[in-house]
Amino acid sequence: MKTIQTAVLADGPCGGSGAHEPARGDNEAAGDVGAAGFGELGADEAGAGMEGGGEICVVMPTYNERDNLEPTLTALFAWNHEVHALIVDDASPDGTGEAAEILAAGDPRIYVLHRMGKNGLGPAYLAGFDWALKRGYATLCSMDMDGSHRAQDLHAMLDVMRARPEIDLTIGSRRVPGGRTEGWSRHRNWISRAGSWYAREMLGLGVRDMTSGLRAYRARILRASGLRSVEANGYVFQIDMARRVAAAGGIIVEVPIVFPERIHGRSKMGADIVFEAMWRVTGWGLRRLFGRR
Ligand SMILES: Nc1nc2c(ncn2[C@@H]2O[C@H](COP(=O)(O)OP(=O)(O)OP(=O)(O)O)[C@@H](O)[C@H]2O)c(=O)[nH]1
Ligand SMILES: [Mg+2]
C-alpha cells in the first residue's frame, strides 16, 4: 500500500444552496431496510432505474441527532452543493428519522434510509454504501452527523479526489501536520493516538488516523473490498475499512482536518466499542504476523 499525505486549503463555501441542480432522482425517501438489511452490497445494478444516483453520496449515520441535522446539512451543502446526502437512521427515539424526512421533502439532494433499531455504526454504513453503490455514485463519503466533521474539510478532501483520480480513499486526518482535535482532554487525545498507533503497528499500515470517520471512497475500491464479510460494528469499522482498501491495492491519502467536539447530543462511544476495537485489531494483527490473513 502507498500512503501519501496531502495538505490542501479549502477555497470557501459554494454560496446559496438554491443554485444546485440535482444530477438525478426525485425527493422520495430512500425507504426501509431491516437491521441487517443489505444484500449484494452494490452488486452490478449500478444506476439501473433507481432513485438517487449522482456523482457523490455522503452517507451520514444517525442515532438521536435531531438537533444536529439541520446545521450539519446546511454546512454540508454550503461547502459542497453538488453532493447528495443519505441519512441512515436507526429508529432514533428522539425523532431524528422523522425530522430527516421533513428536510428531505424540501431538498432533492437528501435521502433517508430507515433501519429497524440501533444496530451499530458498521451495519449502518454498510447499508448506506449498499444503497449508494446500487445507484451508481462514483464517490461515497462517510461523515458523522454530530458537528465533529466539518463541511469545509470534506470540501478539501473532495478537491483531492477530483485532482488525483488514482486515489482510492481519502481520510480526513487529525494526526497529520495541520490536523487537530478541539476541546478534547489530554486523556482522550492520548487514548485516540494510542489506538491508532496500536492498529497501525498490528496491521502494518501507514495510516496515522485509523479511526477517523470523515472519508471519501471511490466506488471501485468499495466494490473490491469484500464488504459482505465485514463484521466490525463500532468505530473499529473504520480501521477494518482502511485494512480492506489497502489489501485490495488501494491508494490511501490523509488530508488534515480539524475535529471539534460535538455541541448537541451525546456520544455513543462506550467501553464495549473500545473493547471490540482491541480484540478485533489484535486478531487481525496476529493473523497478519503469523501469515494467515
Ligand atoms: N445509524 C446509526 N448511527 C449511529 C450509531 N451509533 C452512532 N451513530 C452515529 O454515528 C455518528 C458518530 O457517533 P458518535 O456518537 O459521535 O461517536 P463517535 O464520533 O465515534 O464518538 P465521539 O468521538 O465521542 O463523538 C453520529 O452521527 C451518530 O449519531 C448506530 O448504532 N446507528
Ligand atoms: Mg462524534
Q: Which of 116, 144, 145, 193 to mutate to test the pocket of ligand 1 (most atoms within 8 A of CB)?
A: 144
Instruction: Report d(CA 284, CA 192) in Å as an integer.
Output: 19
Burial (CB count within 10 angstroms: exposed 0-12, middle 13-18, buried 19+), residue 156: buried
CA of 66 to the centre of ligand 2 (A): 14
> Mean pLDDT over all residues of the chain?
84
Quick one: cell of 126? 454498510
Tens-place pLDDT, residues 209-241: 999 999 999 999 999 999 999 999 888 999 999
Percent of the chain exceeding pLDDT 90 equals 69
Note the pLDDT of residue 262: 85
pLDDT in tens, 38-53: 344 555 454 444 555 5
The residue to which cell 501507514 is assigned: 206
The pLDDT, as a whole number, for residue 53 is 58
> Is any ligand 1 atom within 6 A of the Cβ of residue 74?
no
- 27 — pLDDT class (breaks 50, 70, 90): very low
Determine the distance separating the centroid of ligand 1 and the alpha carbon of 117, expressed in angstroms: 14
* Three cell numbers, residue 292: 494467515
CATH number at residue 160: 3.90.550.10
CA distance 247 to 114: 31
Q: What is the pLDDT of residues 49-70, one digit of tens each?
A: 455 557 999 999 999 999 999 9
Distance CA 175, CA 254 (A): 9
Ligand 2 mean position, distance from CA 202 (Å): 25
- Name the domain count of the chain: 1
Note whether 113 and 31 are within 8 A (CB). Answer: yes
DSSP one-letter code for 19 = G
Q: Record the cell numbers describing residue 131, joined without a space.
A: 444503497
The confidence score (pLDDT) of residue 238 equals: 96
The pLDDT of residue 293 is 57
Range of the domain at 68: 3-289
How far is residue 115 from each of residues 87, 97, 125, 138, 253, measured CA to CA in Å?
Answer: 11, 9, 11, 24, 32
Task: Report pTM.
Answer: 0.85
Tell me if 185 CB under 6 Å of ligand 1.
no
Residue 79 to residues 11, 12, 17, 205, Cα–Cα distance (Å) = 9, 7, 9, 31
Cβ of 267 below 6 Å from ligand 1:
yes
Residues 170-190 have pLDDT tens digits of: 999 999 999 999 998 898 899
